[in-house]
Amino acid sequence: MMRLLSLLVLLASGVAHGAEFGTLLAEKSSIAFVSKQMNVPVEGAFRKFTAQIVLDPARPEAGRAQIEIDLASIDAGSEEANEEVKGRSWFNVRDFPRAVFSSTSVKSLGGGRFETGGKLSIRGKALEVRAPFTLRQEKDILTVDGSFQLKRLDYGIGSGIWSDTSVVADEVQIKFHFVLSPTRK
Amino acid sequence: MIPDRYTHTAIALHWLTALLIVALFPLGVYMADLALSPLKLKLISYHKWLGVTVFLLLLLRLAWRLGHKPPPLPDGMPLWQRHAANGLHLVLYLLLFAIPLSGWLMSSAKGFQTVYLGVLPLPDLIGKDKALGDLLREVHEVLNMTLLVMLLAHVAAALRHHFIERDGILARMLPFLDRGDSK
């Protein structure tokens, strides 16, 4: 009996481990954003980032994420915009090369939707953000899709002449798409 | 003798277009070489809005022209002048169509949608494509230089008719001259 029980426990833990996704498929993942310039939506993206995400679709609440974005890898829509936003009045990538998100919680919103909360640090300023996301599992691939809005001026992104929000809106929509395979053991 | 005049509507549309082109041309030349700034983004947007307006005015003019034939050219006008006048007008219409179109396409190719007056998004007819965007910018510039030359010819011809031939051609298109017999 004891042997049967311990076998069951072993099996159960084996299944649980097998369902944990923690390997990022970087080429298939993306962090994009949409800003508004003169009310014109302009798409952008960060080409380089690392994301340490551990998620078990059976227990999403136990998930955690640490995402680091290389801000100099920004594609803000045009070459001159790319140069501009790396500069002092925007991201100031020389002094603050990375943006970091560290999750502190994941909760279910119901209907297959979840929300992660955590701290997002940009330009040396850490602020609470919450981002809803969905999960889609196909065999050994787990896809995390979500988006949230931040206010660039909360972080001092685009100061001086650029703080005029009638030209570049304060709100920026961030869209993330992470593709994960099971944790390698 | 003063020949028949253009209708009030045709005159208004003509001069409104002229005014917009006088604003658009230097605005375009000036903003193109500005370093990126909020001012540049504003000017580019204003330029696009004005350009879309010229395009809309062109469509209105063509629709109006279908129902209101322009007044005939004077009987004594030599054949070559008739051909030159009609040809030049045709070229101007084509340019007023092609220039805003090239600007709109250029904008889409560069990845910036045109949102008329900041509220009405125009569809992107082509996707983002940097090489195509650069090419369309060249096309936009060449078409505008052509327009500049054609407009100089247009104005020179009008002034020649007015001051040298004195055949009343210019007066047909001047506002505020009517004697109450046109509509």
What class is the A2-182 domain? mainly beta
Q: What is the DSSP code (8-state) at residue A91? A: T
Phi/psi-derived region of residue B29, left when phi > 0, alpha when psi is between -120 and 50, beta in every other case: alpha
**Contact yes or no for B10/B61 (Cβ under 8 A):** yes
Residues above pLDDT 90, as percent of chain B: 85
Of B37, B114, B119, the CB nearest to A161: B37
A159: closest CA of chain B, how far (Å): 11
**Residues in chain B within 8 Å Cβ distance of A77:** 111-112
In one-letter notation, the amino acid at residue A137 is Q
Query: Which tens digits make up the pLDDT trace of B73-131?
Result: 888 889 999 999 999 999 999 999 999 999 999 999 999 999 999 999 999 999 999 99
Specify the 3-state DSSP secondary structure of B139. helix
**Contact yes or no for A145/A177 (Cβ under 8 A):** yes
Cα–Cα separations (whole angstroms), residue B145 to A101, B54, B95, B140, B164: 51, 17, 10, 9, 28
Confidence band (pLDDT; 50, 70, 90) for B4?
A: confident
pLDDT of res. B2? 47
Q: Could you tell me the end-to-end alpha-carbon distance of chain A, in angstroms, rounded to an integer?
A: 30
**Residues in chain A within 8 Å Cβ distance of B41:** 37-38, 167-168
**Contact yes or no for A82/A42 (Cβ under 8 A):** no
Element (H, E) at A67: strand A64-70
**Residue with token string 């010229």:** B54
The ipTM estimated for the assembled molecules is 0.82
Q: Which residues contact B69 (CB under 8 A, 6 or more apart)?
A: none
Specify the 3-state DSSP secondary structure of B132. helix
Nearest to A148 by CA among A165, A128, A123: A128
Of A38, A78, A162, the CB nearest to B42: A38
**Residues in chain B within 8 Å Cβ distance of A38:** 41-42, 44-45, 115, 118
Gap between the Cα atoms of A74 and B36, Å rounded: 17
**Contact yes or no for A96/A120 (Cβ under 8 A):** no
Q: Do A168 and B41 touch (CB under 8 A)?
A: yes
Domain parsing of chain A, residue ranges: 2-182
Q: Do A161 and B110 touch (CB under 8 A)?
A: no
Nearest C-alpha in A relative to B48: A38
Burial B43-65 (b: 16+ CB within 10 A, else e): bbbbbbbbbbbbbebbeebeeee
**Structure tokens of A107?**
């909760």
Confidence band (pLDDT; 50, 70, 90) for A23?
A: very high
Query: Which tens digits make up the pLDDT trace of A138-161?
Result: 989 999 999 999 999 999 999 999
Domain parsing of chain B, residue ranges: 8-173
A119: closest CA of chain B, how far (Å): 30
Pick the CATH number of B8-173 from 1.10.357, 1.20.950, 2.70.98, 1.20.1070: 1.20.950
Gap between the Cα atoms of A1 and A7, Å rounded: 10
CA atoms within 13 A on the CB side of A182: 12
The backbone torsions φ and ψ at residue A171, rounded to the nearest 5 degrees and listed phi first, read -75, 130
**Structure tokens of A72?**
């100099």
Query: Which tens digits make up the pLDDT trace of B38-73?
Result: 999 999 999 999 999 999 999 999 999 999 999 988
Work out how many CB contacts closer than 8 A connect A with B: 37
